[in-house]
A and B are shown apart, each in its own frame.
Chain A
Amino acid sequence: MPVLLVAEQALNGLQYGMMLFLMAAGLTLVFGVMGLINLAHGSLYMVGAFACATVAASTGWFWLGLLASLAAAAAAGAIIEVLVIRRLYARDHLDQVLATFALILVFSEGTRWVFGSFPLYLNLPPALSGAVTLPGGLQYPLFRLVIIAVGAAVAVGLWLLISRTRLGIRIRAGEADREMIAALGIDIARLYTVVFALGAALAGLAGALVGSIQSVQVGMGEPVLILAFVVVVIGGIGSIKGALIGAMLVGMTDTLGKALLPGFFAQFMDVSSANTIGASLASMLIYILMAVVLIVRPQGLFGARV
């Protein structure tokens, strides 16, 4: 395997991981603070992508589309938090799973109703399209580098938010002791809405970024949602650091597994069965990773509670 190819696949894994981190960060925040399992997180990803595609197409400004994705997903998040999610905090997980599963159905069909069944495609602005040559002579698409940069910036931003701001203190207090924070006179309902909208905005941003290089269609959030769950389970529920490390692990494992396993098996069997076995094993690899982590640490790498 040539060095440049491995380097490019590693960058692909990193980009994939950053996208998963954007998704998992919101999931893990909402779970850590409110103890809520939200299956509709993938729908917020879809909302962000559709908002970006619509605004970018009608105004011609891609940047405006990105802002719209943040705004639309945050708004959608705040609305469902007030209407539905709020009633679920005191319920058990079964109710949460069902209600948010129901939300997926409503979101998906609602989107289909508004936008139709055809996928939408975004065009990148000239400033972000094409490839750049990295040190060492590797050519790599600029926009994928942008996704990596955005993910890194969000990671730093979240860390600053949680460790350095008043909102961050409240979030940490909320994770530690829900009853206490209400006793301190903090408007807990508003805090929850804000946290939920923040997680939704991150999912929406992920949807817009990924939609820009793939396609924007109903159901696009579902495969990503499940991977984000895997990330959260590996990283430990409620931990932003865990979400980041888990996302990197999953992104790298998946990409490098798909890239390297068929070649590895080809060393000692014929090419076509090596491709078959390699591809099958590669598609299961992240779940095997998850199982191993759970056997060693049932609460995930950085999880506190079980």
Chain B
Amino acid sequence: MTNRSYLTCGVAAVVMMLGSTAVAAPVKVGMITTLSGGGAGLGIDTRDGFMLALKQAGDAASEVEVLIEDDQQKPDVAVQIADKMIQSDQVDLLTGIVWSNLAMAVVPAAVAQGKFYLSTNAAPSALAGSGCDPKYFSVSYQNDNMHETAGAYAKKAGIGKVFIMAPNYPAGQDSLTGFKRFYDEGEITDEVYTQVGQTDYAAEIAQIRNSGADAVFFFLPGGMGIAFMKQYAESGVDIPLIGPAFSFSQDILPAAGDAALGVMNGANWSKDLDNEANATFVEGFQAEYDRLPSLYAAQGYDTANLLLSAMSKADITDADAFRAALAEADFDSVRGKFSFGPNQHPIQDFYIREVVKEGDVLTNKIVEPVLTDHADAYAGECSM
């Protein structure tokens, strides 16, 4: 039920670089993430990426205490954990939620109670537009972004007819909306919503077989994507697949197997992105955990580094100053270029990646950038 880890490093007061002698006020972080069930891989990577950044920061992270609890991918459990962390543990800041439906259940209430929320992953449209909040930052992306990238790629590649499919929850609706926003010339043969947590896709595969589409765009995160891909490989349908990075991230590829080879997917990060922070991260992650990092780990890592950068400039007790320090995004992101837009969502580059084999390990490599300095479609509706 509970899975707690307390992290306290050394106790020394830290003398910061640049000659300033600011001492970071202690920050208590409540991390709510998925550590059991079908989506456990995503939460475990989020946690491990976040903790790796703190470990690498050494003394600079001595004032961060992290409480970690498992939300079991259930919104009601997430709500109760958030209540407990806010009322009982008195955390300063919450982070870690993987799934948009859980984020929608937790984030609005948390920021209403005066807590910061830094998103390591989920970023539903409702929180990017009219529902934006000064205390809410997305360090990952906005939900539509990966799908917009896939749509832009499909248009660029001249694919005429696409079958699109996603689970029936906010992130699923965001995904198909995002794809269609940039794939605006071709034809959508079918738009199918599946049940969240569905494990058998025989009926949908029959529809794909019958659709006459030139490509299938699907967004099925976690175990759903693996089940679909395995069954798709067995079905004899050979329409090429495209998707967002979620369906082909490092946690999924080993299970999906060769079925995923050659698939094009849109992403904001890849382990072969060429910058120093990324090299340090990928190397450090493999050394620490003995596996390749996924997108979720990368975003968790960036989130922790953003937090540390803000702590070096301001006290979390001074909410306005801390918010300004966060908004500067003064840290070395594994994504290279990284800044916040007016709605406190990232402005970053998006790439198309291809699933390849390195030796006998499946992984992604970058093919080309598709959208540069890309923000999101909802920033205009946000009035902060």
The answer to whether A binds B is yes
Complex contacts, A5 vs chain B, CB 8 Å: 206-207, 209-210
Which of A133, A139, A215 interacts with B226 by CB under 8 Å? Answer: A215
Contact A119 B223, CB 8 Å, known A5-B210, A139-B209 = yes
Identity of the chain B residue whose Cβ is nearest the Cβ of A275 in the assembled complex: B193
Q: List 29 A-B contacts (CB under 8 A).
A: A5-B209, A9-B203, A12-B206, A16-B200, A117-B35, A117-B40, A118-B40, A118-B41, A119-B226, A119-B255, A121-B226, A121-B230, A124-B234, A129-B234, A139-B237, A141-B231, A141-B234, A141-B236, A142-B234, A143-B234, A144-B202, A213-B227, A214-B227, A215-B227, A217-B37, A220-B199, A259-B206, A259-B207, A283-B195
What secondary structure prevails in chain B residues at the interface with A?
helix
Contact A4 B210, CB 8 Å, known A129-B234, A141-B235 = yes
Q: Which 8 pairs between the two chains have the least Cβ-Cβ distance?
A: A131-B236, A117-B36, A214-B199, A8-B206, A12-B202, A139-B236, A5-B210, A117-B40
Is there a chain B Cβ closer than 8 Å to A298's Cβ? no
Is there a chain A Cβ closer than 8 Å to B257's Cβ? yes
Is there a chain A Cβ closer than 8 Å to B317's Cβ? no
The distance from the CB of A204 to the nearest CB of chain B, in whole angstroms, is: 18
B-contact 0/1 string along A132-171, CB 8 Å cutoff: 0100000111111000000000000000000000000000
Which of B38, B191, B210, B233 interacts with A215 by CB under 8 Å? Answer: B38
Distance in angstroms between the alpha carbons of A112 and B134 in the assembled complex: 40
B200 with A213: CB separation less than 8 A: yes
Identity of the chain B residue whose Cβ is nearest the Cβ of A218 in the assembled complex: B37
Distance in angstroms between the alpha carbons of A2 and B255 in the assembled complex: 34
Is there a chain B Cβ closer than 8 Å to A219's Cβ? yes
Is there a chain A Cβ closer than 8 Å to B383's Cβ? no
Extra contacts besides A16-B200, A139-B237, A214-B199 (7): CB < 8 Å: A9-B203, A117-B37, A117-B40, A131-B234, A131-B235, A214-B231, A219-B37
A9 with B37: CB separation less than 8 A: no
Contact A123 B235, CB 8 Å, known A8-B209, A12-B206, A255-B203 = no
Number of A-B residue pairs at CB separation under 8 A? 89
A-contact 0/1 string along B188-199, CB 8 Å cutoff: 000101010001
Distance in angstroms between the alpha carbons of A275 and B176 in the assembled complex: 15
The distance from the CB of B264 to the nearest CB of chain A, in whole angstroms, is: 23
Complex contacts, B286 vs chain A, CB 8 Å: none
Is there a chain B Cβ closer than 8 Å to A130's Cβ? yes
A-contact 0/1 string along B222-252, CB 8 Å cutoff: 0100110011011111000000000000000
Is there a chain A Cβ closer than 8 Å to B168's Cβ? yes
Complex contacts, A2 vs chain B, CB 8 Å: 210
B-contact 0/1 string along A202-239, CB 8 Å cutoff: 00000000000111011110000000000000000000
Which of B195, B206, B255 interacts with A121 by CB under 8 Å? Answer: B255
Distance in angstroms between the alpha carbons of A141 and B233 in the assembled complex: 9
Identity of the chain B residue whose Cβ is nearest the Cβ of A116 in the assembled complex: B40
Is there a chain B Cβ closer than 8 Å to A258's Cβ? yes
Most buried by A among B199, B206, B223, B235: B206
Is there a chain B Cβ closer than 8 Å to A15's Cβ? yes
Identity of the chain B residue whose Cβ is nearest the Cβ of A255 in the assembled complex: B203
A-contact 0/1 string along B161-196, CB 8 Å cutoff: 000000010000000000000000000000101010
Identity of the chain B residue whose Cβ is nearest the Cβ of A8 in the assembled complex: B206
Distance in angstroms between the alpha carbons of A164 and B37 in the assembled complex: 45
The distance from the CB of B61 to the nearest CB of chain A, in whole angstroms, is: 27
